[in-house]
Structure 1
C-alpha cells in the first residue's frame, strides 16, 4: 500500500513512530508530512523518520487558520502525486479532507472530546474514526473503539523501556524525590477560556518544601524565578524521566496519561476533563484530576501528599492492572491502516487484552 501519515504535534510523532516502522518493514510505502510545532520536527529527526515539512508554526488562533490552510493545500498537491491508498492522522482535518478528494481512505485517531472545531471539520469527511473505549461520544458507524490510550502506542512495555541514565544526565540521584511539572499554553482552539494553576511559583515552592526536586517543562515563558527549574534534556528523554519520577503535576492531559501508564501518579490540573483522564482516575487511581475553581489548592494538597507518602508499590500494582486490561495501541494503528487499504475484514479479536 501507499500510506500517508500527517504529523502536526509532537505527540503525533510518538503515537505513529512504531507503526510507521512496522508498516515499512512489511513492505508498505510510507510518506510522512509534518508541520513545525514546538519540537515536532526535532522528534521526527531524532526518531530517524523520513519526512517533509509542509508548513511552519503558528503564533495565534488567527495565524493557525492560515497555517492549516497552507498545510492542507500542500498536502493535497503531494497526495495527488503519490496517489495514496490510506491517509492516517490524529485529529485528521487535513487528512480527511485530502483523502476525500484523492480517493484514499482516511483513518483518523482521536481522544479529545472537547475539541469541537476539529471534530466538526474532520469527522464528517473521515472514513474511519478510531477512539479509545472510554471516549465520551458516539461518532456513528464509522467509529472503531479499542481498549487502550494513545500513550500505549509508545509507552506500552513492549515498545518502551526507560533508560536510567536520564537521572545522571539531569543531575539527579536515584534516591531523589522527583516531580515533573508541566505548564500549558492554552492557545489551542479547544483550550480557549480554560485554565490550570493559579500560581506556578507557589506550586514549585510547596513541592520543594515537601522535599521534592522539581523539573519544569513549559509551553509558555516562565517567571524569572522558575527558569532554573526548566527541563533542558532532549525532548525524547522526557519519557525516561517520567518513568523514574515520583509524581507528575501539570496542566497537560497527555503528560498526565503518559505518567500514569508508566506507573507514576499524575495530578492533573485543568478546568477541562477528558474521557481517558477520567478512566485513569476512576478505574485505576493513577491520575488525580482537579477541574473546579479550587483546583489549584486541591491539586497541590494531593501532590504534596503523594510526595510525602512515597509509596511506589501502590502505583506499580495499579499500573500492572492497567496493562492487563489494555492493549499495545501500535498494533491497533497497524491493523486499522492495513484494513483500510485492503478488502479483507479485520480480526479485531486478536487485539483484546490478555490478563495472563
Structure 2
C-alpha cells in the first residue's frame, strides 16, 4: 500500500522545533513526509543539527514589503514546481504563505498553524488559502474570523504549541560548558527583536538598554541569541563584558532551562521559558497577543519597561509539565469539515 505523502514547509527557526516531534509521529504512523525550507535565521542549521532531511528553496527577502510580496510569488512558484507531480495528500506549515499559495494552486489541502493573531498581513493571505487554521484556545476566535478563519476552518487546541514540542525534553547541562558560561553567575538569555517580520516593524531601543545594563552587572552572564547574521555582528561589535553570542545553532531548550531569566523581543523563547518554569520578560514593541496576555495573567510573563525592573538572582530548577504532541498530529490529520476545501 502506498504511503500518504505530507509536505511540510519551514520558514523560520522555531518551525523546526515545532515540527520535529510531529515529523517523527507522522513517520511512526507510516506517512511519507517531505520537508522544504527557507534559508532564514537558524532554520537550516537547526535542520542539520537534528538530522532532518529537507530541500532548501529560497531565502528571506528582507524588511521591504514590496520585496516580501515579490518573494511570496517567486518562492511559491518554485515550491509549486518542486511539488508538482509528487502526489502530496496534505501540506502543513506554521504560517508559510509561500506554501499556502503553492498548495492552493496545486489543489493540495493546506493546514496552517499560528499563535499570534495580529500578524494581519500574513493572515489575510494564509487563512483564506488554507483548509484548516490551528490556533491556541486562549486566543479570541472572533479576531481570527476577521482574517478568514471561518467557523468551518478554525480548530483551537488547548495550551501552547511549546508545551507540545517540549514533550519528552531532557535538559543537557553541557550547553553551558560549550558556551563558556561562568559557573555560579546569574544566567540571562536574551533573544533579539524580529526586525524583519511584518508584525514587528518597530525600533526597539529597550533591547540595547537592557543589554548594556546586564553587561555592567557583576556576577551576571548574558547569552544573546540573534535572529540574523547582521544582528550577531552588531552585538559582537559592541565588545560588551560577560556577553556571549553563539556563532551557530545551540541547544536552545537546555539553555533556557538552565537560565535564571529570559528576556525576548519576540514570543517563542518566552513561552518556552514559561513552560519550563523560568522567569520571562517581554520587551516586544508590537501589540500584545492573546497567548502573552494569558501568560501575563498567570504570572508567567512580565512586561519590562526599564532595566532596573529585572530581578537578577539564581533560581531553583524543578520539573515542568508538557502535552502529548499526538494531539496536534490528530488535529492536523483530521478530515476537513464541509465547506473547508478551497
Match of 1:47 among 39, 47, 50: 50
Query: What residue number does 2:193 align with?
Result: 184
Closer, same or farther in 2 for the Cα pair 1:198/1:311, shift >3 Å? closer
Match of 2:334 among 294, 318, 339: 339
The one-character-per-residue Cα deviations of 1:126-178 (angstroms, maximum 9, x if unpaired) are 1110000112334322111111212223223x2x1110111211222543210
Match of 2:323 among 308, 324, 327: 327
Q: Which has the higher helix share?
A: 1
In the TM superposition, residue 100 of structure 1 has moved relative to its aligned partner by 2.6
Closer, same or farther in 2 for the Cα pair 1:19/1:212, shift >3 Å? same
Closer, same or farther in 2 for the Cα pair 1:185/1:108, shift >3 Å? closer
Decide whether the 8 Å contact of 1:54 with 1:71 is kept in 2. Answer: yes
Match of 2:309 among 280, 302, 317: 302
TM-score (norm 2): 0.85
Match of 2:69 among 65, 86, 93: 65
The one-character-per-residue Cα deviations of 1:12-48 (angstroms, maximum 9, x if unpaired) are 1111011112211221111101110012111111111
**Residue 237 of structure 2 corresponds to residue 224 of structure 1:** yes
Decide whether the 8 Å contact of 1:72 with 1:94 is kept in 2. Answer: yes
In the TM superposition, residue 210 of structure 1 has moved relative to its aligned partner by 6.0
Query: What residue number does 1:131 align with?
Result: 135
Aligned length: 320
In the TM superposition, residue 268 of structure 1 has moved relative to its aligned partner by 0.4
Decide whether the 8 Å contact of 1:5 with 1:32 is kept in 2. Answer: yes
Q: Distance in 2 between matches of 1:92 and 1:340?
A: 21
Gapped regions of structure 2 (runs ≥ 5): none
**Residue 127 of structure 2 corresponds to residue 112 of structure 1:** no
Query: What residue number does 1:349 align with?
Result: none
Decide whether the 8 Å contact of 2:224 with 2:246 is kept in 1. Answer: no
Query: What residue number does 2:79 align with?
Result: 75
In the TM superposition, residue 187 of structure 1 has moved relative to its aligned partner by 2.1
Decide whether the 8 Å contact of 2:215 with 2:240 is kept in 1. Answer: no
Q: Distance in 2 between matches of 1:178 and 1:127?
A: 43
Query: What residue number does 1:145 align with?
Result: 156
Decide whether the 8 Å contact of 2:256 with 2:273 is kept in 1. Answer: yes
The one-character-per-residue Cα deviations of 1:193-245 (angstroms, maximum 9, x if unpaired) are x2434362554334642632111223322273346623216424122111100
Q: Distance in 1 between matches of 2:85 and 2:336?
A: 18
Gapped regions of structure 1 (runs ≥ 5): 344-356
Decide whether the 8 Å contact of 1:170 with 1:233 is kept in 2. Answer: no
Query: What residue number does 1:87 align with?
Result: 91
Q: Distance in 2 between matches of 1:120 and 1:247?
A: 35
RMSD: 2.4
Q: Distance in 2 between matches of 1:289 and 1:108?
A: 29
